Amino acid sequence: MSDYILVGPFGAGTFNTLFPSILTLNTAIDASFEDLLAPISKKYPLKSWARRKGELSKHGGGHGTYTKMAEEFMKAISKSFDYANMNAYERIRDKAPHKMKGLVDKAFDMLSPLQLRSSENLKTEAGKHKRACYVLVNLKENMDVDVYVGQSKTVEKRLGSHSKKFNLYTMEPCANEQEMNHLEGTLWHLVKESVRSNANHPNADFCPFCT
């Protein structure tokens, strides 16, 4: 097996990054680990891991590479996890003033499927954040998703009110109300319209990218 990077740092780093998300998916829906990993095995068979000629051997090492590949593996499990609009991200970040580029990056990072946690963890958020924005994901049995973005000053209560429909979530604290309004609007722009559950643009009056 030494001829395959699957058993080297690349394989270990990628799967160590991926497996917390696999556990999260296993908690959210009735799917075995074998069923969740099967699409990865199908898209990336053993020959892809060959040390010199394999498709995956062209990638380097390091945390950034492992994160990127773990995200690709999540998208192999379901194309629905590719719900962040890369074109919108690049367009918005390009026109954003320098002081807001970090906020755009923060919104895009929140839309990584690796950031998702099970709604069963909501109780651990109680009283943790005074202000935050969140991304809620309804992962269905067929692996399709619906995505909802929002904000709340009592975020654990707001998340709890959605938890019966949305079984996955991620959230990020905000320094002040202005950041919370701007981050929520940016998230709305960056979620692909085909999976976005928000009926309307939240806080459109405060959105820095609608003028």
**C-beta separation of 5 from 49 below 8 A:** yes
**C-beta separation of 81 from 191 below 8 A:** no
Q: Is 195 part of a structural domain of the chain?
A: yes
Residues 132 and 65 in one domain: no
Range of the domain at 146: 86-206
Number of alpha carbons in the 13 Å side-chain half-sphere of residue 75: 11
Q: In angstroms, rounded to a whole number, what is the distance separating the alpha carbons of residues 184 and 150?
A: 6
For the chain, the maximum distance between any two Cα atoms, rounded to a whole number of angstroms, is 58
Q: How many domains does the chain have?
A: 2
pLDDT in tens, 123-134: 776 667 778 999
pTM: 0.90
- Number of C-beta neighbours around residue 198 at 10 A: 15
Residues 24 and 114 in one domain: no
Q: In angstroms, rounded to a whole number, what is the distance separating the alpha carbons of residues 117 and 25?
A: 9
Instruction: Tell me what pLDDT residue 163 has.
Output: 66
Q: Is 72 part of a structural domain of the chain?
A: yes
Give the 3-state secondary structure of residue 127: coil
Q: Where are the beta strands (DSSP E) in 71-128?
A: 117-118
Average pLDDT over all residues of the chain: 90
